[in-house]
Amino acid sequence: MVKYIYERNPDTGTIRRRLTQIYNKKENNMEMKSLYDYLGHAGGPELGQQVATAARKAGVKGEMREVSNPKYRGPVMLWPTAFLDLYFKGGLNEGATGKQLLKG
């Protein structure tokens, strides 16, 4: 199976297609999780936007997954677990501590 990523060059605005390798993300330490999966509860749109902004600043690329359950139907972002660990426990989040954001 061939998989492509389409990327926009921020300087020129051109879009290029790049072939990616198909791999098992867990074998390559690239496990992707949603905020719900990581936190154990819904993070909400405000926290989601803060995480997305920090990811963009750090150059981390997320993936999107469609979900459908009784409480929510629509797209959710997936982030590398290592990035989420840094964000919530290592200080990537600006002005908030991990203890305030994590439950339990």
* CA torsion angle 46 49 50 52 (round to 10): 160
Q: What is the pLDDT of residues 10-56, one digit of tens each?
A: 777 777 766 555 444 444 457 899 999 999 998 889 999 999 999 99
Nearest to 25 by CA among 78, 86, 66, 84: 78
Give me the pLDDT at residue 29, please: 53
pLDDT at 63 over 50: yes
Q: Tell me what percent of the residues of the chain surpass a pLDDT of 90.
A: 32
Give me the pLDDT at residue 7, please: 66
At which residue do the structure tokens 């997936």 appear? 78
Q: Confidence band (pLDDT; 50, 70, 90) for 89?
A: confident
